Chains A and B, each alone.
Chain A
Amino acid sequence: MWADFSLHHAWLIPLLPALAFAIISFFLLRSPWLAARLAIAAMGSAFLIALGVGWAVVSKGITVEAPFVMKTVWFSMPGLVASMGVLIDPISAMMLFVVSLISFLVLIYSTGYMTDDPGYARFFAFMSLFAASMLAMVIATNFLQMFVFWELVGLCSYLLIGWYFQKISAREAGKKAFMTTRIGDFGLLLGILFLQIAFGTLDFGELAVKVPAYVQQNGAALLTCVALLLFAGPIAKSGQFPLHVWLPDAMEGPTPVSALIHAATMVVAGVYLVARAFAIFSVLPGAMTVIAWLGCFTALFAAAIALTQREIKRILAFSTISQLGYMMLALGVGSLTASMFHLMTHAFFKALLFLGAGSILHALHDKADIFEMGGLRKSMPATCAMMGIAVLAIAGIPPFAGFFSKDEILVAAAHVSTPLYIGASFTAFLTAFYMARLFLVAFFGEENPHNHAHESGMSMLAPMGVLAVLSVIAGIVPFTMGFGDWVRFGPAHHAGIDWGIASASTLIALAGFGLAWAIYGGGARRSDAIAKQAGVLYSLSLNKFYIDEIYQWFNRNIVTGLARVLYWVDLNVVDGIVDGAAQKSGAVGAILRRFQTGQTQHYVALMLMATVMLTLILAITAGAVAGGGKI
């Protein structure tokens, strides 16, 4: 009953938060209490419907091959029919569940975290719109609909990252996020246009049939280029190298926003797009190789940066980039199941990590450097315990959630290529190390006497508790219940645990923990000496491999130089042509107006002369014709 209703009213899932956004921004901006309740109620209802959809998928046997599709024509013109609709299959149902649940929890958390913010009601409006865009993107039936909401997600991220707009850095971060993702969106749009021109449709179902047929007939070269164009969108949105630069800066927004962006609503959009269009990517081995290697490189690269960062949210941001690299790697090696599984578990423990970080920042009044924290386990025991769970989960210690999903990725990578497997494993080691570093430095050791930390209130701890439970069970429960039977591409994926890889990855994670303990354990600070020894490597990592600086240099020298040249061309060539045309007509007019004396008798004389001349001409030519050459 509920499942049936939910399935046929799945469009309500994005619509309810969108309505909450509209109502709050039009009527409730002055009543924050009501606005927060409304946003939470709308999101809660959306979550209940998403639960119903999930149950319907299981009970009605909706599979990836036979999805439930409802669509209606949005607009049409000759040669183009754009439709809007709802596409429910196990993948989108899983995403609906994760996104609505995390958004719901983050909204509850925000009631505590955002207290005293002057834009309280507006914050809930934006958060609702953010979640609504993401949910609508998840259920899109075609590329166009997906692109529309994809852009809306980008807009909301801009609004929320730049939330503290009185701070210059926040404003800049918002712009950076928006413009960096726009670069990728441009490629994505080009890819979509090509698909529309080549295949006459953007529907995922139809493309899944037409693209493999096309590849079989005409080869993969052209479509590989198209797929790489499409992939430019996810590169930017999901923070893959080299367009990852906006993601660390995105922490300028309030912490709940970071949690939402990093866990549920923004960065996974790119991963989801690749998964949704997997029928296109999977038949193009060239594109798959690029995705796999780029994912692996991003994972390693971001983890190497995270090693030396000092601000708590920045560490978490780079760990997000790294984990997104994992998901892309999984997609690239052809395992949609592993990627989606990791997306789900990562969403839970990363949301928990960010909410925990928010709890600390709230208690310490936005003191972000982990080396200024220290000893927080005494003053914030609950936050400490839950952060500990999240750290174990992200490091991949059994039986926490991250272990199972990471294991599947490692297995899938090992099947395809050993270098990828080694890269992923080394990333796992680095991940364990920097997460343990964060945990040890912030929660153990000497208490900083300047901090007067206190435990956060229930509105913040309760959502964290739910996420902590999920971070423990979200791996083992789906794993034993056959996640791979539902969320898959191609044949059902029965991954037993590969004990060799599983024990190796566990040992690697423990080694990471051990190294972190050796350097940071027991309040000891041996890190400075090591940093000195590492020299160049340390400063490379600390400065994020100077990618931002390279972009800035490029911007300052190349882009500005080009702009100067174009400005000159505009000023002298384009304007020169326009001004020249005006000047010449003026000059001609100055000459011609001398004939316009205003003296009627001059005009008459001119008329007379013209008549005489005409008559003469006519007479001569007529005479020549009539006289037959006599004249």
Chain B
Amino acid sequence: MIGLSHYLLVGAALFGLGLFGLLTKRNLIAVLMSIELMLNSVNINLVAFSRYSATDAAAGQVFSLFIIAVAAAEVAVGLALAYAIYRGRDTVSVDEMNWLKW
């Protein structure tokens, strides 16, 4: 029988993978993809809690819909920035993107 904890484990695994990617990947596109993974793990958690909690309210599912919309927008902006940076600096490596400091 698959219960809440299974879903939460999947969510946690996905979040961990995303976080690992976020911290270790050098490619800007890969970093963005990792962020997407983390967002989706949150979605899984929300939907699972919504399904297994007692109430009828679909608040968790509505939230996940919002997150999907926000993620889409974020990807659009993120990719546009990545493209702009690539055109300007001829690179997508985050190691070289350190010019926003003193």
On A, residues with C-beta under 8 Å from B are: 593, 596-601, 604-605, 608
- Size range of the interface on B? 10 to 19
Residues in B neighbouring A598, C-beta threshold 8 A: 97-101
- Which B residues, 60 to 102, have Cβ-Cβ distances below 8 Å to chain A? 94-95, 97-102
Q: Chain B nearest CB: distance from A298 CB in Å?
A: 72
Residues in A neighbouring B102, C-beta threshold 8 A: 593, 596
Q: Chain A nearest CB: distance from B101 CB in Å?
A: 3
Residues in B neighbouring A608, C-beta threshold 8 A: 19, 23
Determine if A600 and B97 form an interchain contact, defined as CB atoms under 8 angstroms apart. Answer: yes
Determine if B101 and A601 form an interchain contact, defined as CB atoms under 8 angstroms apart. Answer: no
A596 to B98, CA, bound (A): 10
Determine if A604 and B99 form an interchain contact, defined as CB atoms under 8 angstroms apart. Answer: no
Beyond A599-B98, A605-B23, list 11 extra A-B contacts (CB 8 Å).
A593-B102, A596-B101, A598-B98, A599-B94, A599-B97, A600-B97, A601-B24, A601-B31, A604-B22, A604-B23, A608-B23
A337 to B52, CA, bound (A): 112
Residues in A neighbouring B24, C-beta threshold 8 A: 601
Residues in A neighbouring B95, C-beta threshold 8 A: 599
Which 8 residue pairs of A and B lie closest in terms of their CB atoms, listed nearest first?
A598-B98, A598-B101, A596-B101, A599-B98, A598-B100, A601-B23, A593-B102, A605-B23
Determine if A597 and B22 form an interchain contact, defined as CB atoms under 8 angstroms apart. Answer: no
Determine if A601 and B98 form an interchain contact, defined as CB atoms under 8 angstroms apart. Answer: no
Residues in A neighbouring B99, C-beta threshold 8 A: 598
Q: Chain B nearest CB: distance from A232 CB in Å?
A: 60
Residues in A neighbouring B97, C-beta threshold 8 A: 598-600
Residues in A neighbouring B101, C-beta threshold 8 A: 596-598
Residues in B neighbouring A593, C-beta threshold 8 A: 102
A604 to B97, CA, bound (A): 14
Residues in A neighbouring B19, C-beta threshold 8 A: 608
Q: What are 19 residue pairs bridging A and B, where the CB atoms are less than 8 Å apart in the complex?
A: A596-B101, A596-B102, A597-B101, A598-B97, A598-B98, A598-B99, A598-B100, A598-B101, A599-B94, A599-B95, A599-B98, A600-B97, A601-B23, A601-B31, A601-B94, A604-B23, A605-B23, A608-B19, A608-B23
Determine if B94 and A600 form an interchain contact, defined as CB atoms under 8 angstroms apart. Answer: yes
A601 to B22, CA, bound (A): 7
A163 to B9, CA, bound (A): 99
A169 to B95, CA, bound (A): 77
Determine if B23 and A597 form an interchain contact, defined as CB atoms under 8 angstroms apart. Answer: no
Q: Chain B nearest CB: distance from A603 CB in Å?
A: 10
Q: Chain A nearest CB: distance from B44 CB in Å?
A: 20
Residues in A neighbouring B23, C-beta threshold 8 A: 601, 604-605, 608
Chain B 18-36 per-residue mask, 1 if CB under 8 angstroms from chain A, else 0: 0100111000000100000
Residues in B neighbouring A600, C-beta threshold 8 A: 94, 97
A234 to B93, CA, bound (A): 86
Quick one: closest B residue to A595, CB to CB? Answer: B101
Q: Chain A nearest CB: distance from B98 CB in Å?
A: 3
Q: Chain A nearest CB: distance from B46 CB in Å?
A: 19
Residues in A neighbouring B31, C-beta threshold 8 A: 601
Given A604-B22, A604-B23, A608-B23, A597 contacting B98 (CB threshold 8 A): yes
Residues in B neighbouring A596, C-beta threshold 8 A: 101-102
Quick one: closest B residue to A605, CB to CB? Answer: B23
A605 to B97, CA, bound (A): 16
Quick one: closest A residue to B28, CB to CB? Answer: A600
Q: Chain B nearest CB: distance from A336 CB in Å?
A: 78
Q: Chain B nearest CB: distance from A69 CB in Å?
A: 72
A315 to B1, CA, bound (A): 125
A598 to B102, CA, bound (A): 8
| Residue with the greatest number of chain B CB neighbours at <10 A, chosen from A593, A598, A608 | A598
A597 to B22, CA, bound (A): 17
A597 to B95, CA, bound (A): 10
Q: Chain A nearest CB: distance from B88 CB in Å?
A: 16
A455 to B19, CA, bound (A): 112
- Which B residues, 3 to 26, have Cβ-Cβ distances below 8 Å to chain A? 19, 22-24
A604 to B22, CA, bound (A): 8
